[in-house]
Structure 1
Amino acid sequence: MSYPSPWQPGQGWNQPRPWPDQAGQSGQSGQSMLASTADRERAVDVLRAGFAEGRMQQSEFEKRVARAYAARTVGELTLLVSDLPQGPMALPAVTGPVPGPVPRAFLPAPAPPKTNDKAVGAAICGGLCLVTGGFTGVPAVILGHTARSEMRRTGESGEGLAMTGLVLGWLSIAGWALMLTLLFVAALVG
């Protein structure tokens, strides 16, 4: 199968002739859009797959690959792969969501959710309760409850950190309450 040259003889590489679209007329749609390097590589990948499946001879494959690398527009690439199963359209680079169903194995892994800063603060204050004799228990409890509320609203992570701060904070508050109660009872008895 022979493909028409996009360049008229004697005019060199600077004077491309427009390729006809499906209706046989020059297209002003995406077919006339300048091809990117990624578009050319996708077309060559389709050609390689067609050659590997035995759909064309090596000489035809080599000619088409050469034309793909020399192509200026997406329309030229479309013509090169239109008779192959993966054709006829060389897809433009996808910048947004991937069109159509894509198996999960081929999708990028989702980014882990951000850890809530107040949950980290609650865990730190809860851990410092042991060192400070329980003086950071109240901030640990306040930060822990605030963090859990924010995490439910925003979807951030850090539930374990917030719970650690809450447990250690409440234990230090309970320890202080028990010690003050014992001191008060000792003052009344003594």
Structure 2
Amino acid sequence: MSVQPWGEPGPGHPPGKPSVGGWQPAPAPTHQAAMRAGHSDRDRTVDVLKAAFAEGRLSVQEYEQRHEAASAAQTYGQLAALVADLPSGPMVAPPTVATPVPATFMAVPAPAPVRRPTNVLAVVSLVCSLIGFSAPAVITGHIARSEIRHRDMDGDWAAVLGLVLGYMGCAFWTLLVLFAIA
């Protein structure tokens, strides 16, 4: 049996069949098969051969013969013939039937955030301080802060702001009365 320099079997041997000396590539029948291959094309083909050898798809002799043929290949057709009987990538595993996870091991969903009610007296304290009723603002502000702590409510910011503005108003009215007396 004769092998031509570019790796194709010579006359008298069917293409792509194993011969006495080993495996011989079959020429690819496409137009692109006649295009010249480059070094990177040969390297990609060798990578496929290495993967096939590592997976046990090729024997040592087949791998060596195909590796030599890939190094000497001149066209895409010659390279394609070397890997035509090999998968081009990893085989997809058949789908397995997933066993459902028991409810015991499922994560407990986080509870939805609870919207806390706003204390009404805190809002009253803020409004009273803004319109000038300082004493009622201070009184309702203190009551609101106490209720907010005991009942876990929102509105502490309004109660504090009402208290600050209420005390400032009380100070203003006190100074005004003192200056009026003096």
TM-score in same-fold range (> 0.5): no
Shorter-chain TM-score: what band? 0.3 to 0.5
In terms of Rg, which structure is larger? 2
TM-score normalised over the length of structure 2: 0.35
